[in-house]
Structure 1
Amino acid sequence: MDDIETELNIAEAAADSEDQERNHEVIKPAVLLHQSHTDPRGVLTAVDFLKSNRKCLNLIREAMLRHNWREAAGYFSSYIQTLEAGTLSQVHSTASEIIWRLGTEILHHVPNSRPDDFNAFYEQLKNFGVRNYSKICLEHCFHLLLNGQMDEAKRQLSIADSWRYGKQSTAQSQMKKLIRAYCGYLDYLIWSEKKPSAPGSEEAGSNREMHSYFRQASVTLKEIVSQPGVWDPFVLSYIHMLEFYEDEEAALQLLENYAYNKEFPSNPNAHVYLYQFLKTHQAPPAKLIGSLRILHSLVPSHELMLELCSLLLHTKQQSDLEEALAVSMDLLEFSSWRCDMKAWECLLKIMKRLKKMKCKDAVKKEWDVRRSLWISLHYRNYIGRKDSLQNVQLLMVKRDVLRCTGEDNREYFRIALKVERGGRPKKDRLREKKEKTATQKKEKKKKTLDD
């Protein structure tokens, strides 16, 4: 909101008169325009036009900050009128974006606003700022979808898809590609509404309208997702349709291209979708592991890393166990996983398996590399005392992990031993005693003052 004036480039033109014109009284829309510097023909000068814009924006901003949406709507209507009366093309071109933002926000908050009000506003926006025509059509489509007007949303996207303005720039080309993608996605939504619950049923075979939307959606989505980019919702939609028609080969080929094609930007979700598809269709463990290994290189804190560890454990190969050890320890170095029982139990299980296979050196080697970080991150004394109060089970698992590393942390072991025997660490008891004494002194002092 504070950058509106900067974006419209009107601050410098009217800065000298800001203090004089600032007025906190409610001003009627009819008197917003300044008529003090008109030329002999009675036409507003550029300075007057800029002053009117500045005043309207200030009033709209103040009304919105006070959540006085009806007042903001009145001033917003006047702001549009000042722009329609003005002739400065630079302000006109940049103001369309501001009108779009402000108007949409006000309409969403004005009480008793109707869908027709939104439709009328979007139509007005399209005529006001032709450079944003496609974007406005797309947002209008989203609004119509939220109100269940699927056919009208489809019409708006078709209009946006056929829209051209001047020479096609790079930005226009990207927007056209996005509009095209949403055209296919909307066909998918319509297909999804019309499809029966079970594939291969008699109803599915006889529904020509459903097949028509499938063909439209599949042609568009196939074209879009084959181009480099991040197309997550569109890929999932296309995969859903292919799986419904039991075309698993095409679905797998699409997902592998989306995940492994070097021309596409790095996208962890692509590997997640591929892994989930492979897992659903019972792919060999080697394929599942390969997919998750790449995901680990991109997002080592992903929740699927626990599944990667589980898969590596089942191979019973020493190299895979050592890899699982590294993966699980990577996971526990992220703050969101530090107190996760599943992650700690997984690490303990891997260490015990390596110990059983007489591979203690592998554990010690990995521990030596990470020791300084892990001592400060997981095994400081205050963390042990905190775990003894909040999560005893976690304390015991962390103690067993520390034993497997061969680390001699006597203080941490002492805390765990006290808890295991049903006692409390001496330092905790002393601290609680001090806190109790301080509380009693405060209560005694307060009682004395009251008396």
Structure 2
Amino acid sequence: MDDIETELNIAAAAADSREDEGRNHVPIKPAVLLHQSHPDPRGLFTAADFLKSNRKCLNLIREAMLRHNWQEAACYFSSYIQTLEVQTLSQVFPASEITWRLGTEILHHVPNSSIDDFNAFYEQLKNFGVRNYSKICLEHCFHLLLNKQMDEAKRQLSIADSWRYGKQSTAQSLMKKLIRAYCGYLDYLIWSEKKPSAPDSEEAGNNHEMRTYFRQASVTLKDIVSQPGVWDPFVLSYIHMLEFYEDEEAALQVLENYAYNKEFPLNPNAHVYLYQFLKRHQAPQAKLIGSLRILHSLVPSHELMLELCSLLMHTKQKSDREEALAVSMDLLEFSSWKCDMKAWKCLLEIMNKLKKKKCMDAVKKEWDVRRSLWLSLHYRSYNGRKDSRENVQLLMVKRDVLRITDENNREYFRIALKIERESKPKKERLRKRKERMVTKVKEKKKKTLND
């Protein structure tokens, strides 16, 4: 907000206008001029007068927005927007995008603003900012969708899709691709609205109207998701429709291309979607593990790593159990998992199974590599005191893990033992104490009788 004059290039525009002041006299509507200068003999205001007025108007808008006085900001903005109506200055003063951002923010905060106000504002902007026409249409579409005006949103996207301006640039090509993607996504949304009205899947499958929207959406989405890029919401929409019509082979092909095609950017979500699809359709265990292994190489802290550990532990291969140990320890080295009970229990379970299978050499090898890090990350006395206050159960699980890996580290054990003693019920402690006393008395009597 403080750099708004810089963004609008007011200083440069003012300098240019002063150079042309002698030869260019632009008639300005009085409503625009908040800063009244002396007109020339013909009663017209110059470009410099116009820019001074805009500078003052912008400052007033900025101050009103900073104070959250949205009604006042709207009043000033209604004068400022007339800037774009001055065609001869619009080339020197390219303010359409800033005006778009300011106006949208003000409209969102002005009390009692209606959908008609937004529609009128967007239509006005489309006429001024031709370079932003597609972006404005797309934002207008989003606003219409929020207000459940699906048909009007589709019309706006269709207009944006068919719109052209000058020679098509790279930016225009990318925007056109995005508009096409949202056209397909909107057809999917309409298809989704029609779907619940059908009582069962068989009738829905034979529903002609649903089929029409499915064909429209699938043609567009298939073309979009086959091009390199990150298309997460569009891929999920397309897969949802294919699964609904039980075309699992096509859905799997789309997901595998999205995940494994080297021309696509690295995208962990692609492997998540593939794994979830394989899991839904009861794919072989090897395929599930393969998908999650790639995800582990990209995001070792992903929550699905717990499922990878579980899958690896259910195989009969020793190497898989050792891999599960490494995966679980990788997970716990991230700060977001440090105090997660599921992750610690998973690690303890893996270690106990390896111990039972007499594979302690694998545990020792993995621990030796990570020992210095883990002792400073998880097993400082500070960690023990913190766990004793916040989560005693976690303290005990971590103690059991340390007992398997490093029995010589006594500091953490002392804290755990103290807490374990204190956590036992008082009656239980008294009962055991009484039993010990009784036992001692009996032993003393027995010794006396023997003597």
Q: TM over 0.5: same fold?
A: yes
CA offset digits 1:69-123 (Å, max 9, x no partner): 1110010011112442473334443x11111111111111111111111100000
* Cα distance in structure 1, aligned partners of 2:83 and 2:256: 55
Structure 2 partner of 1:60: 61
Structure 2 partner of 1:48: 49
Deviation at 1:49, TM superposition (A): 2.2
Q: Which has more radius of gyration?
A: 2
Q: RMSD value over aligned CA atoms?
A: 1.8
Partner of 1:330, secondary structure, is helix
TM-score normalised over the length of structure 1: 0.87
CA offset digits 1:374-419 (Å, max 9, x no partner): 1111000011012112211111110111111134211111111112
CA offset digits 1:40-79 (Å, max 9, x no partner): 4443333222211211111001111111111100100111
Structure 1 partner of 2:78: 77
CA offset digits 1:5-49 (Å, max 9, x no partner): 11111146669xxxxxxxxxxxxx947443426444443333222
Partner of 2:330, secondary structure, is helix
* Cα distance in structure 2, aligned partners of 1:38 and 1:372: 79
Structure 1 partner of 2:391: 391
Structure 2 partner of 1:436: none
2:109 corresponds to which letter in structure 1?
A: H
Contact 1:32 1:55 (C-alpha < 8 Å) held by counterparts: no
* Cα distance in structure 1, aligned partners of 2:294 and 2:107: 46
1:269 corresponds to which letter in structure 2?
A: N
* Cα distance in structure 1, aligned partners of 2:402 and 2:73: 63
Partner of 1:195, secondary structure, is helix
* Cα distance in structure 1, aligned partners of 2:172 and 2:32: 40
TM-score normalised over the length of structure 2: 0.87
2:85 corresponds to which letter in structure 1?
A: E
Structure 1 partner of 2:23: none
1:166 corresponds to which letter in structure 2?
A: G
CA offset digits 1:172-197 (Å, max 9, x no partner): 00000000000001111111111245
- Note the 1:358-369 alignment, pairs <5 A: 358-369=358-369
- Note the 1:52-451 alignment, pairs <5 A: 52-85=53-86, 87-93=88-94, 95-196=95-196, 200-205=201-206, 207-422=207-422
Aligned residues: 409
Contact 2:32 2:80 (C-alpha < 8 Å) held by counterparts: no
Distance 1:249 1:82, change over 3 A: closer
* Cα distance in structure 2, aligned partners of 1:304 and 1:161: 39
* Cα distance in structure 1, aligned partners of 2:87 and 2:168: 28
1:119 corresponds to which letter in structure 2?
A: N
* Cα distance in structure 2, aligned partners of 1:387 and 1:214: 54
Partner of 2:301, secondary structure, is coil
* Cα distance in structure 2, aligned partners of 1:397 and 1:237: 42
* Cα distance in structure 1, aligned partners of 2:148 and 2:179: 19
Distance 1:326 1:104, change over 3 A: same
* Cα distance in structure 2, aligned partners of 1:13 and 1:177: 34
1:350 corresponds to which letter in structure 2?
A: I
